[in-house]
Amino acid sequence: MAKVLEGPGMGLMKKWGIHVPNYVVVTSAEELTKLGQANEWLKHSKLVAKAHEALGSRFKLGLVKVGLDLNGAIAATKEMVGRQVGSITVTQVIISEMIAHKEEYYCAVKSTREGSEVLVANCGGIEVESNWDRVKRLTLEIGQQPSPEALEKVAKEAGFTGPLSKKMADFAGKMFICFDNEDAQYLEVNPVVTRESDGELVALDAVTLLDGDAKFRHPDWNFQFAAEFGRAYSKNEMEVMAVDSKIKGSVKFIEIPGGDTAMLPAGGGASVYYSDAVVARGGKLANYAEYSGDPPDWAVEVLTEKVCTLPGIKNIIVGGAIANFTDVKKTFGGIINGFRKAKADGKMKDVKIWVRRGGPREKEGLDAMRALKDEGFDIHVFDRNTPLTDIVDKALQKQ
């Protein structure tokens, strides 16, 4: 899943005929000043300025300003750009036109195992969250298009009446078309409002999750995907992602500040069991990591270096199940190189390494790990006869 920020999200909706407010995404007050000279709506509308970053609670942070004129928006942009919130620096601000409205509604399309669901409610904003039972849904199988009648029926069920039910059905229909054509996994507009000037339904805010795996057939996805957990990716995380996008197999790395148990396990499945074991033992994870699909040794080496730079770590868990085709000796070679570099940089003091693994060339790989003892590493190596997560128990036992 890949989250898309509001700007490109609204862009996709506009592409499929959904009304969205006029908006611009700028990186500086100067840029907005220039755009203001060229765009009439910026001069004459009431404006909203929001920090265009993957941040939660922007309102509370003062990163949303409403009811501005152009000068106010320029001032707000100046104030927001460059502001530091945790690990995120605000680099973009989205300026959109305020839409005068009274009623707020809700519309979403979400992916299900069978196909998708179109969700409609005749309340919006925070009201819908506390009245989830008012959300009505139309279930669709994969390949099935919602008929205008079915959409109108669900709109009526949700409490829309008169011409508005048809309008809402039309809006939901366009949402579905956008969802279907853009390989979306989740589209949510909250609120949908009636624009007082022309009576059209307009999407005021958009949550857009796309299927990153489908990028190959969307040449117009020229935007970056945003982190989904309320902070920007760190430099090290981005470097690992860059490696991941280049290689056969995969390497993954997410930092969790404040932890002391570093993870360097193999396998998308096993890595989670290792993380569970650390938490179950009362340990604090310093990161999530994973390598799989027989990645090249240099990629595992990069991952290892990043893991070793995590501050304050006491243990590194080099776990893994019995691999199918990942070459244990080769991937361990990358890890060993990474460890050596980290040690040369003075990073492995008071760090214990715990290894458990099986798979092609397991003996050679484990022997090479064991040999690190002679180089002064505090390393403990186990083979397939030690159950998967027992190294976590051993690592966290004596602390």
Q: H-helix or E-strand containing 14?
A: helix 6-15
Position 278 contacts other proteins (CB under 8 A) = yes
Task: Give me the 180-199 binding string for other proteins, x by CB under 8 A, dash otherwise.
Answer: x--x-x--------------
Tell me the closest approach of the beta carbon of residue 189 to other proteins, in angstroms.
15
Of 97-105, 278-286, 335-343, 374-382: span binding other proteins (CB under 8 A): 278-286
143 binds other proteins (CB under 8 A): yes
**Residue in 360, 368, 370, 378 binding other proteins, rule: CB under 8 A:** 360
CA distances 143 to 43, 170, 201, 216, 270, Å, are: 45, 19, 27, 20, 34
- The number of beta carbons lying within 10 Å of the beta carbon of residue 311 is 11
Of the residues 100, 238, 272, 371, which one makes contact with other proteins according to CB under 8 A = 272
CB of 113 to other proteins, least distance (A): 5
List all residues 6 or more positions away from 66 whose beta carbon is below 8 Å from its beta carbon: 46, 48, 98
Residue 83 or 361: which CB sits closer to other proteins? 361
Of 7, 19, 5, 21, nearest in space to 175 by CA: 19
- DSSP, collapsed to helix, strand or coil, labels residue 393 as helix
Instruction: Say if residues 142 and 179 touch (Cβ distance below 8 Å).
Output: no
Residue 38: which residues within 8 A CB-CB, separation 6 or more? Answer: none
Residue carrying structure tokens 């085709």? 325
- 373: tokens are 């003892």
H or E element: which one contains 212?
Answer: none
**How much of the chain is helix, strand and coil, in % rounded to 5?**
40, 25, 35
Interface residue with other proteins, options 103, 114, 196, 345 (CB under 8 A): 114
126 binds other proteins (CB under 8 A): no
**Closest distance between other proteins and the C-beta of residue 114, in Å?**
8
Which distant-in-sequence residues (6+ apart) come within 8 Å of 62 by Cβ? none
Amino acid at 244: D
In the complex, the smallest distance separating the C-beta of residue 70 from other proteins, rounded to whole angstroms, is 35
Nearest distance in Å: CB 90, other proteins: 20
H helices present in 247-389, as ranges: 270-280, 297-308, 328-344, 362-370
Per CB under 8 A, the list member of 17, 148, 311, 387 interacting with other proteins is 387
Q: Which of 250, 309, 341, 370 binds other proteins (CB under 8 A)?
A: 250
Scanning 68-76, 159-167, 246-254, 307-315 for contacts with other proteins by CB under 8 A, the matching segment is 246-254
Binding window for other proteins (CB under 8 A); candidates: 60-68, 80-88, 304-312, 321-329: 321-329
Query: Per rule CB under 8 A, is residue 256 in the interface with other proteins?
Result: yes
Taking a C-beta distance cutoff of 8 angstroms, is the pair 283, 398 a contact? no
Q: Which of 266, 367, 268, 244 is nearest to 317 (CA)?
A: 266
Residue closer to other proteins by CB (options 68, 278) is 278
Residues 204-233 that bind other proteins (CB under 8 A): 211, 213-214, 216-217, 228-231
With CB under 8 A as the contact rule, which of the stretches 68-76, 169-177, 267-275, 333-341 interacts with other proteins? 267-275
Does 325 interact with other proteins (rule: CB under 8 A)?
Answer: yes
At 314 the three-state DSSP class reads: coil
- Asked whether position 333 contacts other proteins by CB under 8 A, the answer is no
Asked whether the CA dihedral 283, 285, 291, 292 is positive or negative, the reply is: positive
- Is 270 a binding residue for other proteins by CB under 8 A? The answer is yes
Residue whose entry in the numeric block shows the structure tokens 């920090």: 51
Q: Residue with structure tokens 């078309």?
A: 177
Whole-number Å distance between alpha carbons of 280 and 157: 46
Among 292, 304, 315, 331, contact with other proteins (rule: CB under 8 A): 292
Closer to other proteins by CB, 66 or 280: give it: 280
Number of residues forming the site for other proteins (CB under 8 A): 60
Q: Is 389 in the site for other proteins (CB under 8 A)?
A: yes
Instruction: Based on the shown chain and the rule CB under 8 A, indicate whether residue 273 belongs to the binding site for other proteins.
Output: yes
Q: How far is CA 262 from CA 201, 227, 287, 288, 390, in A?
A: 50, 21, 6, 8, 16
The binding site for other proteins (CB under 8 A) comprises 1, 111, 113-115, 141-143, 180, 183, 185, 211, 213-214, 216-217, 228-231, 250, 252, 254, 256, 266-273, 275-280, 285, 288, 290, 292-293, 320-326, 358-361, 384, 387-390, 393
